[in-house]
Structure 1
């Protein structure tokens, strides 16, 4: 596949930068000034919208995500509680809102090339144009209806920009005929554009994982993520969760990840099932939690085979992994293990404590601490096992967090890799001789995964550890085995696939001296 990331020109004739032009934090363009022709008259007032309720909802979500840098799913969930929409409109509104976030950079590239002065676009006008641009380019909808509704949507936020909207959207209808402006089979830029990805990100995956994995990753990232539920054996009676799904007439099936069966993990066929009273009661009562199957698999890897005297979870967030870890401990030892957690945000520590109380989890202490100072806080060899759930780019979770792809930058990934190398070494100092150290991410970049491991093993503290193979050792020894096969023998690495769990990575070490 040709590397066309430099000097590539789109139909508008302007050079394309990796990922298109990226919105600034205010949703506009760096250096963009006011433009009267775009409807910035001070006396202009938003009109009553003639756009459909679903499109208005998608516009409101996009505006909130842009202004607050919020997570799209969180905004949708909150606004659906107040929206007066039919079930059909809710489904379409959700599809639009997620799709616009997912494809924002690609949509902006197209909108910019259809505008005379894109820097002058009001952020609210751009929000509205994105909704209709997504319909025109990525959905099999009537172009005429999309243009008409797009004009009304823009009119609702800036009446004087209706003419501009009509011109821009009609140009996009014409552009749709040749989109993605190249052959995705031999053009990296066209492949990235077709799947609404920044070009730099597609190139990174191509360089790290190869062409076949890139295509599978791009396609799967744009699909709806499956729903996985973890049964909480600390609260639920045996068979109670499965029975509730049966009463709710929701199909729930057991799960395997990378050939490993995951006990008490259920894949739910109908996403709406969690809103049904029987299932909602389980979640509200702490008898079950929503958690990706790969995350559940990693929690099983992180718990030692013998009861640890002291276990540390680094990067505990809102406490989901804590619940999973203690469930594994209860299964293996018949009791929960001594568990301490670390997170650098006080509000997350409070959430951990509340969730622990709800779910019956033993949580000895939730430390609010910068993970780069673990050794200073706990000293050397303080824990029998340490689990680092590392901060990462989250590229393995793009289906659940579509905003990531246009917010993250190559520099962010480099910074996270450096940070995690420090955190892993700090955690290593706190691990006892004979103790277990686990490093995990929810991303697929080599910089944050394999290269962090390599850097750790070359460090002075890393030299005191040996890696624990987590994968298929037989595959690595088979005739003709590649370096990739060897890597699979060492690490847990779930690939992102349609209708499968998120992409996660884990490496494990034992301290030998």
Structure 2
């Protein structure tokens, strides 16, 4: 009997807790006392196991269930233990002897009586690894797509949608980076010229952006807690930079204020004095946004309002009353609710929580509604910016096409539209941005 490694035990505890509480596993890991007790090497392994088992959970179940006589009867805790071991076998290249032995010990820690079952199932997963990843069991007409999906631990429908919209190379790049860490970038508060010791480099065209920084050094610096910088992907910063223009700004879908911070920082850096209204559905997120801006010293000129972006007439009624007319803005940014498929490396829950109908129908319908509501708030000659962190055409190009064909959209012309860098090894996240200009 081998001794169970503390990293694997910590990963299992985090996965079970996240599943039980409906939480994000990355947040559970960050707050777990068991993780803090590990050395750096074991923390790294626990993190990789927990995030990977989450990101590939559906594919791991597919590999396991073919050898389980009653897969629906497997207890959740045992299921997560088996997933961890299967992830090591399929994706990490851990030796079968170690992965199976540690997997058996993980299962034994959950249910001693299930250790024999675990041994038999995991050995068969190890023996069938090459055939499973090659999709030898699938009809030849579908094999390439299923092989690609299994290699990235992703749902087949998602791989199909990316291939259809972006091509084979883009889909392969997405798959190749699915279990790799995403690069870290920060946006600096204008009151800070640089942060010593975090490495990285400035990015042309995005003032205040520092890319490829050292994550542990960044956390140790304390700048995030003091509001001197904010973590944001380079392509997300490109979106925020596009909204830094003279005149008033309306931001829809502000969330906890990452882009609000970056837009306010960019305006301060460019010596722009203007009104910035940030609208967010959640009152709690509005409060978080305000607290972050206050800490950063960037709250001047920013008004935060809670409400539904599809109901702007109601949300902005106080502004209309103050102005005595319908308020219109020189820049309107919609940071639309979306599938998040461009950020799956950072959010491993996305692939298997996301439903195809949401990404291909429900979310696009909502996104078109948000654009229609926002269109009436763009001043003559102003710009309407639509952004997502999705790589799916259904939420990006097709939404813009649908909007421009509506009565609300006919006064706009597309100035720029691009699906920015697809996630790939070493590349930044996938973000889409369309900039449309209103007629005079």
- Out of 227, 252, 260, the residue aligned to residue 314 of structure 1 is 252
**5+ unaligned residues in a row in structure 1: which ranges?**
1-48, 470-489
Matched, 1:254 2:202: yes
In 2, Cα distance between equivalents of 1:356 and 1:124: 41
**Are the counterparts in 1 of residues 188 and 229 from structure 2 also a CA contact under 8 Å?**
yes
Matched, 1:341 2:268: no
Matched, 1:303 2:251: no
Matched, 1:172 2:125: yes
Q: Which residue number in structure 1 is paired with residue 420 of structure 2? A: 493
- Out of 338, 341, 345, the residue aligned to residue 399 of structure 1 is 345
Matched, 1:76 2:29: yes
In 1, Cα distance between equivalents of 2:34 and 2:366: 38
In 2, Cα distance between equivalents of 1:366 and 1:327: 16
For 2:181, what is the secondary structure of its paired residue? coil
For 1:227, what is the secondary structure of its paired residue? coil
In 2, Cα distance between equivalents of 1:268 and 1:462: 38
In 2, Cα distance between equivalents of 1:75 and 1:267: 26
In 1, Cα distance between equivalents of 2:226 and 2:82: 42
- Out of 133, 138, 148, the residue aligned to residue 86 of structure 2 is 133
Matched, 1:511 2:438: yes
In 2, Cα distance between equivalents of 1:83 and 1:142: 27
For 2:391, what is the secondary structure of its paired residue? coil
CA deviation digits over 1:475-494, x for unaligned, max 9? xxxxxxxxxxxxxxx43623
In 2, Cα distance between equivalents of 1:195 and 1:457: 35
Query: In structure 2, do the counterparts of structure 1 residues 192 and 492 end up closer, same or farther at CA, with 3 Å as the change threshold?
Result: closer
Q: Which residue number in structure 1 is paired with residue 211 of structure 2? A: 267
CA deviation digits over 1:320-339, x for unaligned, max 9? 1011101221232x144311
> Which stretch of structure 1 is more off in the superposition, 393-402 or 207-216?
207-216
For 2:98, what is the secondary structure of its paired residue? helix
CA deviation digits over 1:202-254, x for unaligned, max 9? 11111111112211122133321011111110x32x3x42xx22xxxx42212
Displacement of 1:178: 2.3
Query: In structure 2, do the counterparts of structure 1 residues 192 and 343 end up closer, same or farther at CA, with 3 Å as the change threshold?
Result: same
Moved over 4 A (4+): 183-186
**5+ unaligned residues in a row in structure 2: which ranges?**
321-325
Displacement of 1:431: 1.5
In 2, Cα distance between equivalents of 1:430 and 1:405: 35
CA deviation digits over 1:333-386, x for unaligned, max 9? x14431111111111011001101011112532211111101333364532221
**What TM-score do you get using the length of structure 2 for normalisation?**
0.92
Displacement of 1:186: 6.0
In 1, Cα distance between equivalents of 2:296 and 2:31: 24
Displacement of 1:269: 4.5
For 1:440, what is the secondary structure of its paired residue? strand
Displacement of 1:200: 0.6
Displacement of 1:50: 4.5
Q: Which residue number in structure 1 is paired with residue 298 of structure 2? A: 361
Displacement of 1:415: 0.7
**Are the counterparts in 2 of residues 375 and 430 from structure 1 also a CA contact under 8 Å?**
no
Give the superposed CA RMSD: 2.0
> Which stretch of structure 1 is more off in the superposition, 372-381 or 348-357?
372-381
Matched, 1:101 2:60: no
Displacement of 1:70: 2.1
Matched, 1:444 2:381: no
- Out of 388, 413, 416, the residue aligned to residue 466 of structure 1 is 413
Q: Which residue number in structure 1 is paired with residue 166 of structure 2? A: 209
Q: Which residue number in structure 1 is paired with residue 97 of structure 2? A: 144
Displacement of 1:388: 0.4
